[in-house]
Amino acid sequence: MNNTFLKACKGQKVKHTPVWLMRQAGRYMKEYQLVRSRVDFLTLCKTPDLAAEVTLQPINILGVDAAILFSDILIPAEAMGMKLEFTEKKGPVLGEPIRTKSAIDRLIIPDTEDSMPFVLDTIRILRKELEKKVPLIGFAGAPFTLATYMIEGGSSKNFVNVKRMMYKNPGLFSLLMDKITATTIEYLSAQIHAGAQTVQLFDSWAGVLTPHDYENLVFPHIKQAIAVLKKLKVPVIYFINSCAGLLHIAKKSGADVIGIDWRVDMGRAVRTLGKKVSVQGNLDPCILLGTPEKIQESTRDILRKASSARGHIFNLGHGILPETPVENAIALVEAVHAYKKK
């Protein structure tokens, strides 16, 4: 069993820095596209054999040190009662966006085994398949990031509806956050009980908030979720995109690992976060579109700067792009594994 990933999460000594890539199963791989040509994205997420198959592709093809469950952060929004679609042009679309008290009241806090059994079945298949290989990461959207999709009805540029609710009707926003947080705790606990060995919370949009609003309206929910999940004794990773202005707050989240995007220098991030957490990140995904030399150089720079952290898991600063040549992703994994700490 390659346990470098779990060890680095806990800040234990490792023989090489572990690496995995956010969105490592995806369209940049022809093997993924082949599976996707037969089923739509949501069917893929809801068919355990296929979801497990694509989860395993990057383990075999890239040689990464962890697997991440193939699913999507919006699956629980559907289970809460919203209509979910993935369109080719607009990406995810959630029908009847949540803007009123009655809409929030209608949302349910789903039982995972009842309403998302396919997620747990996928995890169970994967744990068998991954035996003696690498650990499995489960995940969910962080409450604020999920709330943005539920309030906007999909992806957004200025988050006008989210922020209008936050500033005009903070009580309503807080009610929605409470319900999403309860769902997230139930959902990730179920994933852990089914066999997930680490869980990651994706806060893809927290970086659009002022530090003050993040700290007061969003962070208490993060702390609450992490405090409950930590009792289940698996490492918790908290990834924030555009994290630079929020790291001094995120440091107090209780997470074992803080995932950081590429807009902040790794050395600076480590200094801000201190010695009590491990770090994950933070190569700009676009560097994988560059030359092998550029990939080597940027990878080593991050590894060197992260060497003073309690622990480091190498990753991209956000998801891998569909335009990425697979051989560059392989070269990245090799470069991380070949790096010798001085």
| Degrees to nearest 5, angle at CA 234 with 12 and 81 | 145
* Sheet order of strands, 236-240 included: 67-68, 136-141, 198-203, 236-240, 257-260, 278-283, 312-316
Rounded CA-CA distance 311/255 in Å is 13
Query: Among residues 44, 201, 41, which one has the least CA distance to residue 137?
Result: 201
Any contact of residue 46 with ligand CP3 (CB under 6 A)? no
Residue of 11, 18, 92, 143 interacting with ligand CP3 (CB under 6 A): 92
Residue of 52, 68, 79, 116 interacting with ligand CP3 (CB under 6 A): 68
Which residue, judged by CB position, is nearest to ligand CP3 in the bound state? 204
CB of 307 to ligand CP3, least distance (A): 26
For ligand CP3, the closer of residues 4 and 200 by Cβ is 200
Distance of CA 77 to the CA centre of its chain: 16
**Secondary structure class of 15 (helix, strand, coil):** coil
For ligand CP3, the closer of residues 243 and 339 by Cβ is 243
Rounded CA-CA distance 31/56 in Å is 11
CB of 206 to ligand CP3, least distance (A): 11
Rounded CA-CA distance 21/41 in Å is 20
Residue with tokens 């066999």: 195
Any contact of residue 202 with ligand CP3 (CB under 6 A)? yes
Query: Among residues 285, 288, 286, 282, which one has the least CA distance to residue 268?
Result: 282
Residue of 70, 173, 219, 262 interacting with ligand CP3 (CB under 6 A): 70
Which range touches ligand CP3 (CB under 6 A), out of 72-80, 242-250, 252-260, 296-304?
Answer: 72-80
For ligand CP3, the closer of residues 33 and 291 by Cβ is 33
Distance of CA 99 to the CA centre of its chain: 26
Number of residues that bind ligand CP3 (CB under 6 A): 21
For ligand CP3, the closer of residues 141 and 311 by Cβ is 141
Which range touches ligand CP3 (CB under 6 A), out of 21-29, 172-180, 226-234, 249-257?
Answer: 21-29
Any contact of residue 166 with ligand CP3 (CB under 6 A)? no
Please identify every residue annotated as catalytic: 23, 27, 36, 72, 149
| Degrees to nearest 5, angle at CA 154 with 122 and 72 | 10
Tell me the two tokens of residue 64: 């990464």
Any contact of residue 181 with ligand CP3 (CB under 6 A)? no
Any contact of residue 25 with ligand CP3 (CB under 6 A)? yes
- Which residues in this chain contact ligand CP3 in the complex, by CB under 6 A? 22-27, 36, 41, 68, 70, 72-74, 86, 91-92, 139, 155, 202, 204, 319
